Structure 1
Amino acid sequence: MERRDVLVPLRLLGVGLLICGLLYQGSLAVIGTAVFPNNAAGSPVTVDGQVVGSAEIGQDFRPNDPGDAQYFWSRPSSINYDAMQSGSANLGPTNPALSKRVRGDLRNISQYETPDSTVPVNLVAESGSGYDAEISPAAAQYQVPRVANQTGISAEQLRGMIQQATAEPWLGVWGHEAVNVLELNLMVREELQQNQQNASSQRIGTEHNQFERGDH
């Protein structure tokens, strides 16, 4: 074997790595950062300067904790919304494990609502990725009575929040309407905090008036 027979493939390999591994990937990173800075950074959602999640990755708002009942729930996830795994369990319709999981989801729902044939599929079926950040408007509307009962926020106000968190199909053609659960729940949390502040201010005002009247 001549020296040339070894050098030529090595040179081709080096050029290929330079173009495809460095220049191409680097160009995509630079263009993505310049044109779509938020998407390139992972679509972070910030509150008071703190990152609380991503607009593209779901979070577990299901009732593992009693406090979660006051929030809208995401789709089920067999990977606990871990984007590093990216994949659902892909259980077939005849798989007993699928039936067991769905029954468990329906039991969770039945703690607050009466599950029947109207339960939106989003609430019992995970997505292909396992970390969808969105649910259908129907799945969000179905949860309004529970969230209203748990939070004291009116159903009308909650429906307004759902409308704000609903993204329309791209260019009105591609895709479906989808509600970002994190965005929606941040609205709920903000309203709860505002209600707590108002209640606290009202209580302080009442105590102040009682003090002035000598009712203490």
Structure 2
Amino acid sequence: MDSQDFTVPLRLLGVSLLVFGLLYQGSLMAVGDVLFPNNSAGSPIQMEGQEAPVGSEMIGQDFRPGQPEDAQYFWSRPSANDYDAMTSASTNWGPTNPLLEERVRADLQNISQYETPDDSVPVNLVSESGSSYDAHISPAAAAYQVPRVANQTGISEERLEEMIDASTRGPWLGVWGHERVNVLELNIMVRGELQEQQSLSDQNSNIDDRSTTEGDH
């Protein structure tokens, strides 16, 4: 057998690996870094005063009913994999599955512990997305939570509605998808407002202490 019978496919394999495995992928990464630097980096969300990102614009976080520490924040959609993007998949339970009914009942019971505007809970708050780590909820699901967040934080409902508007994204190119609210971005705004309230409270407390001290003299 001629030695070329072996070298030709090996050379073809080497060229294919170089062109399609390295050059092609490398060019795509380079173009992505230039044209879409935020997306290629994982769509990180930064918070003022912190060097490391606090999360990703595309991956949800565990803000859920039933967790007392989350009562002052807007809740996310349920997640069967704890919002782990490495194991992307929902349970895909059908509507007749008793496990789905049990989970939804538990979510509704947790939600009912807090003030709500009516008895109609938006489906976003009791249903998973296909990936199980969706970072967004519908504007209606966010608006539904406004009375509770206002009651828990002291932030006015009007201010919370402004935050929802600022965190709302429209359909891509105005055509594909639906309006959606990024829960992490919204909760960062809520936390910022709470920190401002605390800062003002501390300043007023210092002024009162100073006035009391001067009055004693």
One-letter identity of the residue aligned with 1:193: Q
The answer to whether the 8 A contact 1:109-1:115 is kept is: no
Which residue is 1:152 aligned to? Answer: 154
Which residue is 1:125 aligned to? Answer: 127
Which residue is 2:110 aligned to? Answer: 108
Q: Partner of 1:50: helix, strand, or coil?
A: coil
Cα displacement string for residues 98-154 of structure 1 (whole angstroms, at most 9, x for unaligned residues): 111111111110111459762111000010011111100000000111111110111
Q: Note if 1:85 corresponds to 2:87.
A: yes
Identity across aligned pairs (percent)?
64
Q: Note if 1:185 corresponds to 2:179.
A: no
Which residue is 1:31 aligned to? Answer: 31
Residues in 2 aligned to 1:203 and 1:115: alpha-carbon distance in whole angstroms: 35
Residues in 2 aligned to 1:3 and 1:93: alpha-carbon distance in whole angstroms: 64
- 1:180 shift after superposition: 0.5
Paired residues, number: 215
Name structure 1 gaps, 5 residues minimum. Answer: none
The answer to whether the 8 A contact 1:57-1:131 is kept is: yes
Name structure 2 gaps, 5 residues minimum. Answer: none
Of the structure 1 ranges 26-35 and 205-214, higher mean CA displacement relative to structure 2 is found in 205-214
Within 5 Å, give how 1:2-17 maps onto structure 2.
2-17=2-17
Cα displacement string for residues 36-82 of structure 1 (whole angstroms, at most 9, x for unaligned residues): 11111001111123310011111001146422110001111101111
The answer to whether the 8 A contact 1:106-1:115 is kept is: no
The answer to whether the 8 A contact 2:116-2:145 is kept is: no
Indicate how the Cα distance of structure 1 residues 2 and 91 shifts in structure 2: closer, same or farther if over 3 A, else same: farther
Which residue is 2:21 aligned to? Answer: 21
Q: Note if 1:139 corresponds to 2:111.
A: no
Cα displacement string for residues 145-180 of structure 1 (whole angstroms, at most 9, x for unaligned residues): 111111011111101100010011122222111100
Query: How large is the RMSD of aligned CA atoms in angstroms?
Result: 1.7
Indicate how the Cα distance of structure 1 residues 141 and 2 shifts in structure 2: closer, same or farther if over 3 A, else same: same
Residues in 1 aligned to 2:173 and 2:132: alpha-carbon distance in whole angstroms: 26
Residues in 1 aligned to 2:164 and 2:70: alpha-carbon distance in whole angstroms: 18
